Amino acid sequence: MNKLISGLLGTILTTGIIQHAQAQAPVVTNSTDIYRKIKKLNVLGTVLYFAAHPDDENTRLIAWLAKEKQYRTGYLSLTRGDGGQNLIGNEQGFELGLIRTQELLAARRVDGAEQMFSSAYDFGFSKSATEALSIWNHDKVLSDAVWIIRYYKPDVIITRFPGDERAGHGHHTASALLANEAFTAAADSTRFPEQLKNGLTTWQVQRILWNTFSFGNMNTTSEDQFKIDVGVYNPLLGQGYGEIASESRSQHKSQGFGVARQRGQSWEYFITTGGKAPKKDLMDDVVTNWSRVAGGKAIQAEVDKLIAGYNFAQPDNSLIALVSLHKSISRLPESTPYRTQKLKEVEEIIVACSGFFAEAVSGTAYAVKGQPVKINLMANSRNTKAVYLKSVSINNALDTVVNTLLSTNLNWALPYMLQVSDTQEESQPYWLQKPMNSGSFELPEQHFLAQPENNAAYTARFVIQVKELELTVEKPVMYKFTDPVKGEIYEPMVVINPLIVAVSPATTLLNVQPGNERTAHPSVQVDFKSYFTAANVPVKLHLQQNGQHIYTRDTTINFASGNTYTSHINLEGIVKNGDAAPLTVAVDVTLNGKTYQFTNYLKHIAYDHIPDINYGYRSMTKVIPDEIKTVGKKIGYITGAGDKVPPALEQMGYEVTPLGENDITPASLKRFDAVLTGIRAYNVNPWLEQKYGVLMQYIQEGGNLVVQYNTNSGIGPIKSKMAPYPLQVTNKRVTDEQAAVNVLLPQHPALNYPNKITSADFEGWIQERSIYQAEQLDSHYETPLSMADKSEAASNGSLVIAPYGKGNFVYTGLVFFRELPAGVPGAFRLMANLIALPKHSL
């Protein structure tokens, strides 16, 4: 096993030129880029920035480090941001983590740094590092941090946060504590010694600093701290680092972090928390040129000569010198620091100088197991006749000798029909391949920490010779197509099963009273989509609960690729009374005498600013046998930043009508028993300011308006009035989903009609209780509940209700947007009560 891991580690450290697997378009390298890359060859310094979440990083400082100082710069985000809110869609949990992973990678493509993650899961807002480290498993995540330091070998570590309450979030505090602990442990051979058997060595970081900040009302900077002006302008880039940083930060679109470009002087401040404090430079006492390695001075002289002789109009003139430099670096002992990294950089420059372009693309996004997929390979030496194409290969499928000198700017092409093995593994983000253990992902091996995402399912390798140097250029096989509006698009090509299976809805309620056509006869819908074509195929459809088949249907299907087949299953008499175990499906398909079982669904997530995301999972329906009483039928829903509440309301038997700006009129609202606003509706719909009077009139005439949480901050200020009486939306929250809920008004209708709410209704909640609670309440508001995190004073702002005219206004920070999709019975019962709040007589 150690040899296997060591071999895998060697693969990660290869000097082959690899284009990022998820890049949406080929990287364009112009002559100025090449010049800057050549100058970087003389820089042998590395910095690791360390924080907790996507969007925590200081993009201005990172851009300055990576592009101005040209240090190898990395950002370690302990989590993938799974626990945040989503401003652009309704993805939550690990799906949001998938999106934010890609947003971080998009940001790094802008600011020039590298991206890394630990195995920690973002479980939502935490008020203490103790909680975070307990849930994550302190030793496990510390081991991850030590592994990354030993692998990346930074000279300097910079933390975004301090290791105390000033960090403002338990994850933030924990990230600083872990960074400082890992700073010491990485150099200690007695700490995590198993890592040293797999190709890593101990590493002593020169210093670790806290990048102090001024956020909101908290300013931790002072003029006696070490400081750097990172707002300088780079004429080669045509931008200052505030401009680059703004573009980088604006990639965090799911968090609403688009910012204006900033120009001018900008100081960053630092406090040293380990090692010797810098006096004049971040890299004081660190040698950042070739003199740090034996035999390096001669190499530095070669690079200096390259820089002096570089011709911007004809970069290919540098090829002979670059090949010579590659030989010089290759002659250094393999243990020499930076040898591997600088060989990779030289090879990238050689390819760029030659204008060599290569790609391997398919006209389909999916490589289906057991099916062929056409791959088109192309190569072009656009700037020189010096490139000799020796061979081309794709994984273990294609390996062909070419041996041809590429003509200048003429395409070499090869079509290839790739047969996808029926034993090929499905494409799946590596951190989702195993069930999560508590608060952290189970990675296949620890060396996966070196890569932020999966490698491509298939990789084409072009072996070329430039002058007398042979090197391999690796390109991921991509899905390429032309959109009539967006133009040429590249997306990942992933491996999938020939049949994908889903069951819906996500939650089914078995005991809604009074019942209607939808709720009286609960059923599930099974969809399976075919990616193959075959006639008269025997199929067995199984509905499963508790690992047992509770329903089986035999049929024969003529499968056609691209078609979806649907089956409805009535649950009456199938699901046992009181059994709350989830329902899953399995489909047995018999082909050529062999039976295959398919159980997984393929989820596709697409946004313009990131590559498409595909992952597989076991689709299931959560079963709720608890009695849920409802009053009223028609609901108007004003969509916010995206949540899954409307489908849950439909499961309760309500007719849900989405409401846009033009739908909110006195006449149209009269038909609704209640109107609900989605999360952050008042943050993202500025037109609601003009609808205040209409909504207040609706309440006065007997309607119930239920406003789910909004934020009131710089990221998401409330731009319009939403309540009939004064209240203040704050950042107050209760993060412990098991926190005790105290009943303040036991006779209040919200807790009694039509469902009697008890402490049992707050069992099984996920992630948190309540966020962005209301405070500074007018005397008209009633507060039925109070709750608090440990050691904090109780707050009654999670649910506030005000009678207004004949109707009722409700503001709630209770996280219905998480609990209803999660199938928490008490959340359904309490929501039904809020919708049913009784009218008042005047």
Q: pLDDT of 576-619, one tens digit each?
A: 878 889 999 999 999 988 999 999 999 999 999 999 999 999 99
What is each CA distance from 247 to 65, 97, 101, 781, in whole angstroms?
A: 16, 21, 17, 44
Per residue in 307-335, pLDDT (tens digit) is 999 999 999 999 999 999 999 999 999 98
**In CATH, what class is 45-288?**
alpha beta
CATH of domain 628-835: 3.40.50.880
**Which residue from 327, 336, 345 is spatially nearest to 295, judged by alpha carbons?**
336
Per residue in 30-43, pLDDT (tens digit) is 999 999 999 999 99
Per residue in 154-189, pLDDT (tens digit) is 999 999 999 999 998 999 999 999 999 999 999 999
Per residue in 833-842, pLDDT (tens digit) is 999 999 998 7
Count of beta carbons in the 10 Å neighbourhood of residue 671: 11
Q: Is 193 helix (H, G, I), strand (E, B) or coil?
A: helix
Q: Is the pLDDT of residue 627 over 80?
A: yes
Q: Give the pLDDT score at 501.
A: 96
H/E/C letters for each residue in 47-80? EEEEECCCCCCCHHHHHHHHHHCCCEEEEEECCC
CATH of domain 497-624: 2.60.40.10
Query: Matching CATH topology for 45-288 and 497-624?
Result: no
Count of beta carbons in the 10 Å neighbourhood of residue 25: 11
Q: What is the mean pLDDT of the chain?
A: 92
pTM of the model: 0.89
What lies within 8 Å, CB to CB, of 134 at 6+ separation is: none
Query: Which residues on neighbouring strands pair with residue 376, listed in sequence order?
Result: 361, 415
Backbone angles phi, psi at 687, to 5 degrees: -70, -15
Are 50 and 160 within 8 A, CB to CB?
yes
Query: What are the strands, taking DSSP E only, across 310-394?
Result: 356-362, 366-368, 372-381, 387-394
Q: Give the pLDDT score at 489.
A: 92
Per residue in 214-240, pLDDT (tens digit) is 987 889 999 999 999 999 999 999 999
**Which residue from 343, 309, 307, 212 is spatially nearest to 267, judged by alpha carbons?**
212
Q: Is the pLDDT of residue 754 over 70?
A: yes
Backbone angles phi, psi at 485, to 5 degrees: -105, -45
Q: Give the pLDDT score at 841.
A: 87
Q: Of all residues in the chain, what percent carry a pLDDT higher than 70?
A: 96
First-to-last C-alpha distance (Å) of the chain:
78
Q: Give the pLDDT score at 430.
A: 96
- Report the DSSP pairing between strands 564-570 and 72-77: unpaired
H/E/C letters for each residue in 500-523? EEEEECCEEECCEECCCCCCCCCE
Rounded Cα distance between 121 and 94, Å, is 8
Q: Which amino acid makes up residue 661? A: E
Q: Give the pLDDT score at 15.
A: 33
Among 464-473, 668-677, 707-716, 719-728, the least confident range: 707-716
What is each CA distance from 817 to 35, 496, 549, 678, in whole angstroms?
A: 51, 31, 32, 8
Rounded Cα distance between 436 and 566, Å, is 31
Give the angle subtended at the CA of 515 by the CAs of 509 and 516, to the nearest 5°: 105
Q: How confident is the model at residue 263 (pLDDT cuts 50, 70, 90)?
A: confident
Backbone angles phi, psi at 507, to 5 degrees: -135, 140
Q: How confident is the model at residue 16 (pLDDT cuts 50, 70, 90)?
A: very low
Q: How confident is the model at residue 716 (pLDDT cuts 50, 70, 90)?
A: low
Per residue in 397-408, pLDDT (tens digit) is 899 999 999 999
What lies within 8 Å, CB to CB, of 614 at 6+ separation is: 365, 427, 492, 494, 496, 602, 603, 604, 605
Tokens 């846009």, located at residue: 660
What is each CA distance from 496 to 421, 480, 508, 584, 601, in whole angstroms?
A: 11, 17, 28, 19, 10
Per residue in 185-220, pLDDT (tens digit) is 999 999 999 999 878 999 999 999 999 999 878 899
Q: Is the pLDDT of residue 23 over 50?
A: no
Q: Is the pLDDT of residue 548 over 80?
A: yes
Q: Give the pLDDT score at 4.
A: 27
As a whole number of angstroms, the longest Cα–Cα distance in the chain is 93
Polymer length of the chain: 842
- Report the DSSP pairing between strands 594-598 and 785-787: unpaired
What is each CA distance from 748 to 202, 563, 794, 803, 808, in whole angstroms?
A: 63, 52, 19, 12, 13
Q: How confident is the model at residue 727 (pLDDT cuts 50, 70, 90)?
A: very high
**Which residue from 94, 107, 12, 18 is spatially nearest to 57, judged by alpha carbons?**
107
Proportion of the chain in helix, strand, coil states, percent, rounded to 5? 25, 30, 45
DSSP for 416-481, please give it.
EEEE--TTSPPP--GGGSS--BTTB---SSGGGGG-SSPPPSSEEEEEEEETTEEEEEEEEEEEEE
Determine the distance from the C-alpha atom of residue 710 to the mean position of all C-alpha atoms in its chain, rounded to a whole number: 23
Report long-range pairs for 410-416 (Cβ below 8 Å, ≥24 apart). 410/380, 411/378, 411/379, 411/380, 412/378, 412/379, 412/380, 413/376, 413/377, 413/378, 414/376, 414/377, 414/378, 415/374, 415/375, 415/376, 415/377, 416/374, 416/375, 416/376, 416/377
Among 20-29, 110-119, 134-143, 384-393, the least confident range: 20-29
Per residue in 472-500, pLDDT (tens digit) is 999 999 999 998 989 999 999 999 999 99
Residue 696 DSSP code: H
Q: Give the pLDDT score at 717.
A: 63
Q: How confident is the model at residue 385 (pLDDT cuts 50, 70, 90)?
A: confident
Rounded Cα distance between 122 and 82, Å, is 5
Domain ranges of the chain: 45-288, 497-624, 628-835
- Report the DSSP pairing between strands 46-51 and 72-77: parallel
Helix (H), strand (E) at residue 116? strand 114-117
Tokens 């991206």, located at residue: 115
Residue 640 DSSP code: -
Alpha-helix residue ranges (DSSP H) falling in 627-774:
645-651, 666-669, 681-684, 692-700
Q: Give the pLDDT score at 521.
A: 87
Q: How confident is the model at residue 714 (pLDDT cuts 50, 70, 90)?
A: low
Residue 161 DSSP code: S
What is each CA distance from 205 to 42, 75, 152, 178, 185, in whole angstroms?
A: 21, 16, 11, 14, 10
